Amino acid sequence: MNHQRSSTRVENPQGFVHTGLGDIHVNVGAHLQDSDRPAFRRVAEDQLVRLRRVLVAPTGMGEARALLAATGSVILDGTPGSGRTSAARVLLREHQHDSGVFHELLPGEEDELSLHDPALVEHGDQLLLDLSAADDRRWSAARADLPALRKTVHERHAHLVVVMPHGGTLDPDLQYYRVKIGRPSGLDVLRRHLRMLGVPYQQYVQPDVTVTEFLREERPMREIADFADLVRRARETALAGEGFAEWCAAARKARNDRRKEVAALVTRLGEAPQRALLIVVSMLHGAHADVIHRAAQLLLRTVDFPSEEMPLLQHKDLAERLSEVSADTGPGGQVRFIELDYDSAVRAHFWDHMPDLRPHLGTWAAVVVELNDPHVLPAVRDGLVARVAGEYLRTGRGDGLASLAERWSSGAASRARLEAAVSALTCALEDPAHARDFRERIYHWCAHRRLRGEFAQVLVRVCADVLAASHPDQALLRLYYLARRERGTARALQALCDLAASSRRLRRRLLDRLARSDLSPPDLRIFLRACDPVPLTDFSGTTRALVEEDGVQRCLITCWHAVLAELPQASWQPHAQHWLRWAAHDTEPRSELLLDLLVSAAEQCEERRGEVFAALYASARDAERTAPGSLARSVEITERLIRKISAAQGLEPTIPPPASDEETQR
């Protein structure tokens, strides 16, 4: 089954941004630094756990599980709607390890590595290659690279699940890894969803004519999941005495096309306040009556409708006005339409038939999310943003949603508006039809566009908490561009380093990106934060540490050389001292490597070589005082460093190095 979508809450900082092709200058408001909302990556993990619980194993799931465990690879085939993509995600979730990360492979997208590139895979990674909707050209190109990808996956003890296009051809040498996924029982799927949604077992275990009729067709898993959710919502709003049969009937009715019904209602409601209330209830469905009342007033003000001069006590009360729009208020004060799922039909009507209203709705939504009202809860804000974004995406107007997110982030935007901007972009990234387009948009925003207001910080959160959940390589690249342009804050830099720390492969990719850059001061600033020797020398779960790889060594020498040659000593000395302290703490041969890399980088400084060598030696002496281990070990590292420096200069030390402070005091 396809995974469940949910609203996503991510929050972000505030400040002024000056942008262009050069630096981004940002001052971040302190009140946006922290949040009590869950990070998206935790939300995404929760969704995956729920998916595993709700999945009714399709035919072939056991065979696929055994093949993946035995070979590290499996290729899933099946008809659309059979649950093949959800099965792929669950299979990978079962092989989650601390040493690897989950990521979806996106061959052909901006700066994505080719499938045959070994750098694509790290030890223990879980890789999803979803080509279920690929055309013949994309599938043919991917098929040619699959043997090389499988080889790398096997060598690095990773796991790969490929979802192939239904009816696509497969080379003979890959046929062994193909597993046919078949649809599970529709009734079993519906009942599993109902159970997970809290519907009592005794309610849905009995045969029901509506359910039988609904499942008579072979419906996609997504449709069955949506129907189960409608039943759940019908149950929550049902009258006393109504049972499962009535809930299912209401769910079936909600699936009908209601365009003519809504159009007739709008025709009857000719007054602006009536239509405003109708729109507001559809956009804030389930919100408290106080919020509905205030939001309706704000919408009228947004469209410049003149205020009524009638005495207050002669106004219609909210209950009467709600009855006019086929809505009422529940026991807890929440306002809903009487008919199930009527809100979506109302939204679609106004969006489709009053296009001039669209920009006003974006402006109005930004005001509503900022309301200081105890009933404007995070779920209310998220629901409003998701509904506005949903209409843009439903009608294929991703550009309008992108502009709206930028506008919400302009100026000195409040925390609530920044959260709304991130939520809007998250909706787009979760939409299968628009996700690729928005990943490309975010790339161009981060790398090339002028970013006004707080939009740079919105993008930091989108990349770090949303995009990184399934596409960490793309998130890394976009955070790199943001980090090298920011000034006055280190939010992008911190997010970039945190992401690189989550995977050896990502740290390797970041070092490679830096070594291939123009090595400007912003790049070197990133390098000094990313070159922590502790993870570079860690070999947990692998046969060798990153620092022992030839490619990584070349990157480190290139970047350290630029640091030593271009930056003032005061900026790099603390990092060099940390490097040397860790050399004293670590064991051979990595300790020796750390010294060799520094000396090799300094050796390339040509006419400044002697000056840089002297600065490195001074750094080693200073590092002795704060080394975590024994002083003798630190002194030994300093002595080895001076011997390597002398050898690099073609000299032999004629005098012993100066005594350490402790030796001098004896």
Q: How confident is the model at residue 110 (pLDDT cuts 50, 70, 90)?
A: confident
Task: Quote the tokens at residue 65.
Answer: 């599980």
Angle at the Cα of 274 from the Cα atoms of 288 and 363, rounded to 5 degrees: 65
Q: Which residues pair with 76 in a beta bridge?
A: 163, 179
Mean pLDDT of the chain: 87
Model-wide pTM > 0.95:
no
The residue among 440 and 449 whose pLDDT is bigger is: 440
Q: What is the amino acid identity at position 111?
A: D
C-alpha span between 648 and 643 (Å, rounded): 9
The answer on pLDDT for 396 being more than 50 is yes
Backbone φ and ψ of 230, nearest 5° = -65, -40
> pLDDT at position 562, please?
96
Tell me: the pLDDT tens digits for 484-523?
A: 999 888 999 999 999 999 888 999 999 999 999 999 999 9
Cα–Cα nearest to 113, from 95, 129, 97: 129
Task: Quote the tokens at residue 8.
Answer: 């996503």
Tell me: the pLDDT tens digits for 30-79?
A: 333 445 454 555 556 677 788 889 999 999 999 999 999 999 999 999 99
The answer on pLDDT for 233 being more than 80 is yes
Q: What percent of the chain has pLDDT over 90?
A: 68
C-alpha span between 432 and 524 (Å, rounded): 37
* Residue located via tokens 């670590």: 586
Q: Which residues of 255-294 are buried (b: 16+ CB within 10 A; e: fewer)?
A: eeebeeebeebbeebeeebbbbbbbbbbbbbbbbbbbbbb
C-alpha span between 373 and 376 (Å, rounded): 5
The answer on pLDDT for 654 being more than 70 is no
Q: How confident is the model at residue 289 (pLDDT cuts 50, 70, 90)?
A: very high
C-alpha span between 643 and 582 (Å, rounded): 19
The answer on pLDDT for 24 being more than 80 is no
Q: How confident is the model at residue 629 (pLDDT cuts 50, 70, 90)?
A: low
Tell me: the pLDDT tens digits for 299-337?
A: 999 998 877 666 666 678 899 999 999 999 988 999 999
> pLDDT at position 275, please?
96
> pLDDT at position 540, please?
79
The pLDDT of 531-535, averaged and rounded, is 93
The pLDDT of 595-604, averaged and rounded, is 94
C-alpha span between 552 and 126 (Å, rounded): 23
SS3 657: coil
Q: Which run of H or of E encompasses 245?
A: helix 244-254
Beta-strand pair 73-77/178-180: parallel
DSSP state of 11: -
> pLDDT at position 283, please?
98
Angle at the Cα of 356 from the Cα atoms of 350 and 359, rounded to 5 degrees: 95
The answer on pLDDT for 215 being more than 80 is yes
C-alpha span between 320 and 328 (Å, rounded): 9
The answer on pLDDT for 451 being more than 80 is yes
> pLDDT at position 3, please?
39
